[in-house]
Chain A
Amino acid sequence: EAGVAQSPRYKIIEKRQSVAFWCNPISGHATLYWYQQILGQGPKLLIQFQNNGVVDDSQLPKDRFSAERLKGVDSTLKIQPAKLEDSAVYLCASSFWGAGADTQYFGPGTRLTVL
């Protein structure tokens, strides 16, 4: 079974530029998550989708971050414009139903550096 795919793996941009990340979850998984992990901290949930609807985006900085999951499969996360504090690893994960005891399967992440 193929795992969660993410691209790119690494990205370096200057502040005020835009960047987009892509995620392809495990086939059949209804729930997709985007996390931000800043160095020295645990991953923080940015947004959770159930199929193509948003379940939770309470910690997504909506003035600069946006995410979509068209057709309930792939997802993109965009930052526009980027700030220095956005430097982090962005992890995508998927799970079958999204229930609390469901295992979340993670992609390898995208390491973003904002200069």
Chain B
Amino acid sequence: ILNVEQSPQSLHVQEGDSTNFTCSFPSSNFYALHWYRWETAKSPEALFVMTLNGDEKKKGRISATLNTKEGYSYLYIKGSQPEDSATYLCAFMTNTGNQFYFGTGTSLTVIP
């Protein structure tokens, strides 16, 4: 079982602040890195799929970067809003199998 780590474990920010989280994964046998947002009592929602070193993806105020050589991805939220409050999960897939390895998530609370 591979180790995928996310930090911080939880985060409280004020509305309007920008924030970022980290997902660390093994740098060998990389195939894809996924980011999901999971709001309480809802289904996890796919944010990004990244496959190439140096990839940058953006969706509204949320963006992500990928460094496969050093094994990390950053998720950025610009101008956080209360509706951004959720758990953000990353999932790593190797090129040697079909299995996803999820991190434990970063729980974000945006205070109005």
Contact = CB atoms under 8 A, between A and B. Distances in A.
Interface residues of A, number: 26
B98 A42 contact: no
Interface of A is mostly: loop
A55 interface: yes
A42 B31 contact: no
A98 interface: yes
A95 to B, nearest CB: 10
Kindly state the interface size class of chain B when it binds its partner. Answer: 20 to 34
Interface of B: 4, 31-32, 34, 36, 41-46, 49, 51, 89, 91, 93, 95, 97-105
A106 B97 contact: no
Contacts of B104: 40-42
A58 B46 CA distance: 25
B43 A100 contact: no
Given A42-B89, A100-B32, A56 B98 contact: yes
A42 B5 CA distance: 10
Contact of A56 (B34, B36, B51, B99): B99
Closest 9 CB pairs of A and B: A42-B102, A100-B93, A100-B31, A106-B44, A100-B32, A103-B46, A106-B43, A43-B102, A101-B32
B8 to A, nearest CB: 14
A7 interface: no
Contact of A104 (B42, B46, B101, B103): B46
A32 to B, nearest CB: 12
Interface in A23-51: 33, 35, 40-45, 48
Contacts of A104: 34, 46, 100
Contact of A108 (B31, B36, B42, B105): B42
A103 to B, nearest CB: 5
A45 B43 contact: no
A103 B89 contact: no
Nearest to B92: A100
